[in-house]
C-alpha cells in the first residue's frame, strides 16, 4: 500500500447509499450468525493489517488532516489498531442476566441480538481513530455497517477498504460510503432500513440527524462538542499541570473535542500560572506536519482557520488581552508553506465568562485563562455553559478532587492528568455534548437489542 500524494475520492449519490443498504442487508444474517469467536478473529486480522500499514496510514492521515505525522504515528493509527483489538477481545466477555421467581415457577433471562444495519458517521479531526471506534464494536456485535467518514478527511478510510477484504471481512459487512453530509449522510440517516445511527460531530448536525431519524424512532448515539474547563487550584503541582494543560489546549491544533478551552486558576497562583503557561505555549512549535520537532501542524481548512481567527478578533474587540499567539507573535514557516492554514497557539485573558469565546466551541488552538476565588464559585462557572463533555481538575487535595469531580456537569473528569483513556469505561458527554456513551459495555448495549425471556416450568 502506498500513501497518496494527491488523492481523488468518489463522491457518492443517494442511489449508491441504497446499494450499500442492499449489500448490508444481504450480509447481515450470515455475519450475525457467526460466533463471537469467529468475528473476533476477523477483527484481530484487520488490526494486524492496519498495524503493518501504520507508517503509510500515518503519513496519509497527516497529509489529509494537517496534524503532525508524529501525532498520527503515536496516536491516531495505533488507537485505530487498538479499537479493533479491544472490541475483538471485549466481545468475548459479555454475559447476560438471569433471575428466578420460584413462587410462580419462573426463570427469567435476557438475550442480546445485533440490531441490523448500523449507520456510522464520523468527523474530520481524528478520522480513522473515530471511524474505527464505531465500526469495531458494531461488527463485533454482529451488525453490518454503513460508515461515512467526513468528506474532508476520507483518505485513510479509503485505504482501509483494501484491508477489509484482505482481513476476510465478508462482502457487505462493512460498507464505506464517501460523500457530503447533506447528500450521503442524510440518505443514510433517513433510510428506513437503518435502525441505528452512531454519530460523532457537531451539535447543528446532530440536531438535523435527530429530526431526520425521529419519524423512524431510530436508536441514536450522539458524541458532540465541548467547551471543556480546566480548574487549577492553588495546591496544584504546576510542574505537571502547566505542560499538560498546554497539551490539553493545543494538541492536534486544539481540534479534539476533549481539548481544554477555559482555564480557571485560583487567584493566589494566577500570575505565576499565567507566566509559566504563556512561556510554555510559546515553546509549542507550529511547523509543517512532517517536521518531527513540530507540536502542531495546520488546521483543517481555510474556512475553519478564518472561523477560529474571528473568535480572537471578537475577544480583542471586547477588550480581552491576547497574551501570545495570533496577532502577537510571528509564525515562522518555510516559504512554500506560508499560505497554509497554520496559526500559533493563542492564549486569551481578561475575558468575561459571558463572552462567546468562553461559551462557544472554537475547536482550534485558542484557550482562555481567568482567575477564581472559591471552590463553589468555580464549579458554578465551569458548569455555566451548554456543553458537558470533559473537564480537568488540578489539586493535591484528594478530598477536593473527588468533591469537585462529582459536582461538575461533565461526562469525563480527568484529575491531575488529561486524556488517559480506559476503553472499558463509558465515554461521552452530558447536556449539549451528546446522548449515550461509548465503551466496552455501553457500545455493546447500543449495538444490540435486549430481550427478556420468561420460562415457566
- Among residues 395 and 433, whose Cβ is nearest to ligand NAD? 433
Angle (CA) 120 426 393, round 5°: 120
Residue nearer to ligand NAD on the CB measure, 40 or 190: 190
Residues 69-98 that bind ligand NAD (CB under 6 A): none
Contact segment (CB under 6 A) with ligand NAD among 48-56, 143-151, 271-279, 318-326 equals: 143-151
Q: Which is nearer to ligand NAD, 202 or 409 (CB)?
A: 202
Residue at shortest CB range from ligand NAD:
181
Cell of 208: 438535523
119 near ligand NAD, rule: CB under 6 A: no
Provide the edge-to-edge strand list for the sheet that holds 366-372. 321-324, 346-349, 366-372, 260-266, 228-232, 390-394, 412-415
Strands 366-372 and 260-266: parallel
Question: What is 303-339 written as a DSSP string?
Answer: HHHHHHHHHHHHHHHTT-EEEESTTTS-----GGGTT
Does the footprint of ligand NAD cover residue 200 (CB under 6 A)?
Answer: yes
Site string for ligand NAD, 165-194 (x = CB under 6 A): ---------------xxx--xx--x-----
Among the listed residues 31, 87, 124, 158, the single contact to ligand NAD using CB under 6 A: 124
Binding residues for ligand NAD, total number by CB under 6 A: 31
Binding mask 205-244 for ligand NAD (x = CB under 6 A): x--xx-------------xxxx------------------
Residue 257 in contact with ligand NAD, rule: CB under 6 A: yes
From the list 13-21, 90-98, 123-131, 442-450, the region that binds ligand NAD by CB under 6 A is 123-131
Q: Is 10 in the site for ligand NAD (CB under 6 A)?
A: no
Residue 360 a catalytic site member = no
Marked catalytic residue, from 3, 38, 97, 223 = 223
**Residue 391's Cα: distance from chain center in Å?**
15
Q: Which of 367, 361, 352, 378 lies closest to 432, judged by CA?
A: 361
Confirm or reject binding of residue 436 to ligand NAD (CB under 6 A). Answer: no
354, exposed or middle or buried, with CB in 10 Å at 0-12, 13-18, 19+?
Answer: exposed
Distance CA 223, CA 243 (A): 27
Contact 61, 154 (CB under 8 A): no
The residue among 31 and 387 lying less far from ligand NAD, judged by its C-beta, is 387
CB nearer to ligand NAD: pick between 124 and 158: 124
> Rounded to an integer, what distance in angstroms lies between the CA atom of residue 305 and that of residue 300?
8
Q: Does 137 bind ligand NAD (CB under 6 A)?
A: no
DSSP string computed for 231-245: EE-TTS-HHHHHHHH
What percentage of the chain's residues is helix, strand, coil (to nearest 5)? 45, 20, 35
Cα angle value 377/382/386 (rounded, 5°): 130
Q: How far is the CB of 275 from ligand NAD (least distance, A)?
A: 30
The Cα-based distances of 94 to 297, 422, 448, 449 in angstroms read 41, 17, 12, 14
Binding mask 339-378 for ligand NAD (x = CB under 6 A): ----------------------x-x---------------
Per-residue DSSP letter, 4: -
Q: Is the dihedral of CA 447, 10, 181, 26 positive or negative?
A: negative
Residue 66 found at the interface with ligand NAD (CB under 6 A): no
For ligand NAD, the binding residues (CB under 6 A) are 121-125, 130, 148, 150-151, 180-182, 185-186, 189, 200-202, 205, 208-209, 223-226, 257, 361, 363, 389, 429, 434
Residue numbers annotated as active site: 223
Amino acid at each position: 500500500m502506498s500513501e497518496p500524494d494527491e488523492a481523488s475520492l468518489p463522491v457518492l449519490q443517494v442511489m449508491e447509499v441504497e446499494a450499500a443498504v442492499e449489500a448490508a442487508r444481504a450480509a447481515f444474517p450470515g455475519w450475525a450468525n457467526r460466533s463471537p469467536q469467529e468475528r473476533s478473529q476477523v477483527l484481530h486480522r484487520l488490526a494486524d493489517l492496519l498495524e503493518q500499514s501504520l507508517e503509510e496510514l500515518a503519513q496519509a492521515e497527516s497529509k489529509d488532516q494537517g496534524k503532525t505525522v508524529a501525532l498520527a504515528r503515536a496516536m491516531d493509527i495505533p488507537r485505530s489498531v487498538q479499537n479493533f483489538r479491544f472490541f475483538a477481545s471485549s466481545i468475548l466477555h459479555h454475559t447476560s442476566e438471569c433471575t428466578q421467581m420460584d413462587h410462580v415457577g419462573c426463570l427469567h433471562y435476557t438475550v442480546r441480538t445485533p440490531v441490523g444495519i448500523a449507520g456510522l458517521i464520523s468527523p474530520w479531526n481524528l478520522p480513522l481513530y473515530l471511524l474505527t471506534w464505531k465500526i469495531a464494536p458494531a461488527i463485533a456485535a454482529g451488525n453490518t455497517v454503513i460508515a461515512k467518514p467526513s468528506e474532508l478527511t476520507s483518505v485513510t478510510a479509503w485505504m482501509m477498504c483494501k484491508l477489509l477484504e484482505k482481513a476476510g471481512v465478508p462482502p457487505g459487512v462493512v460498507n464505506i460510503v464517501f460523500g457530503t453530509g447533506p447528500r450521503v449522510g442524510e440518505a443514510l440517516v433517513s433510510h428506513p432500513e437503518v435502525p441505528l445511527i452512531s454519530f460523532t460531530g457537531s451539535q447543528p448536525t446532530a440536531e438535523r440527524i435527530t429530526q431526520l431519524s425521529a419519524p423512524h424512532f431510530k436508536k441514536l448515539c450522539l458524541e458532540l462538542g465541548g467547551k471543556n474547563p480546566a480548574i487549577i487550584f492553588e495546591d496544584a503541582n504546576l510542574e505537571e499541570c502547566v505542560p499538560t494543560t498546554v497539551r490539553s489546549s493545543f494538541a492536534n491544533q486544539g481540534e479534539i473535542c476533549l481539548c481544554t478551552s477555559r482555564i480557571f486558576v485560583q487567584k493566589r497562583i494566577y500570575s505565576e500560572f499565567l507566566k509559566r503557561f504563556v512561556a510554555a505555549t510559546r515553546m509549542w512549535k507550529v511547523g509543517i506536519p512532517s517536521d518531527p520537532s513540530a507540536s502542531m501542524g495546520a488546521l483543517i481548512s481555510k474556512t475553519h482557520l478564518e472561523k477560529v481567527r474571528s473568535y480572537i478578533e471578537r475577544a480583542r474587540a471586547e477588550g480581552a488581552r491576547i497574551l501570545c499567539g495570533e496577532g502577537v507573535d510571528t509564525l515562522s514557516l518555510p516559504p512554500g508553506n506560508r499560505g497554509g492554514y497554520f496559526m500559533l497557539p493563542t492564549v486569551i485573558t481578561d475575558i468575561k465568562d459571558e463572552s462567546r469565546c468562553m461559551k462557544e466551541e472554537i475547536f482550534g488552538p485558542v484557550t482562555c485563562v481567568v482567575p477564581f476565588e472559591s471552590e463553589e464559585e468555580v464549579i458554578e462557572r465551569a458548569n455555566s455553559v451548554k456543553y458537558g463533555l470533559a473537564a480537568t481538575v488540578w489539586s493535591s487535595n484528594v478530598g477536593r478532587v473527588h468533591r469537585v469531580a462529582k459536582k461538575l456537569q461533565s461526562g469525563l473528569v480527568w484529575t491531575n492528568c488529561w486524556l488517559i483513556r480506559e476503553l472499558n469505561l463509558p465515554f461521552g458527554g452530558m447536556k449539549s455534548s451528546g446522548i449515550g456513551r461509548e465503551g466496552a459495555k455501553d457500545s455493546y448495549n447500543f449495538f444490540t437489542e435486549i430481550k427478556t425471556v420468561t420460562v415457566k416450568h
